[in-house]
Structure 1
Amino acid sequence: MRQGDTLCAQISDGDHPDLRSRAAGTRFDRIDVADGAMHVRLGHRINKHFKGQVLSLRPIVVKGSPVSPVSWICGHASVPEGMQAVGDNRTTVDDRFLPTVCRTERVAAP
């Protein structure tokens, strides 16, 4: 298990609520984990327009295949066909400010 994976596992463990505050930095001030999804609230060192907004990171899994590897999506990204997202998307950051891979997929006009 990588160090980041360990930290995420510890943060989601209700026995260690103080880890949430220790994990938070100046770019984010809170991480909530619910139903497998991580919801990161942006902090005071991010552009002032984003302070307090949330970016969700959700695991996606292959439907009906529990042995398949897990992947992740962020923000408003579309779930690939044949996969399903775990947890809710609580992202409040507008698409235009998210990295391309975290934006809602739009179909180009013909």
Structure 2
Amino acid sequence: MTDNQFDNQNEFDEMVNFNFVIHIHLKKRSARKTQTIIVGIPDEFDLNKIIRFWKKQFNCTGGIISKDEDYGDQVTIRLTGDNRQQIAKFLVEEGIALQDNIKVHGI
């Protein structure tokens, strides 16, 4: 690699700021039904594109909720079913968050 490529990588590392935590919760709706709730994805990412991909990939329904009664003013994403591990894997693979910045919560 040339010095120029290293400089570009350092500039990229400085631009990406991982000072946030993404929480992935599982909420039980009824005896057999569950919801996966994602809180804390930064605003710089297009949540509509992300949720559209997840809905196709995980074969589920879901939506973006701007004000949730359980999580306050933070934007939350709700998906049907238990998709916690797949979502955590996606966030790391796509470079949205580091593994240390993702907290997966159980029932």
TM-score, length basis structure 2: 0.23
Q: Is the helix fraction higher in 1 or 2? A: 2
Of structures 1 and 2, the one scoring higher in RCO (CA 8 A, sep 6+) is 2
TM-score, length basis structure 1: 0.23
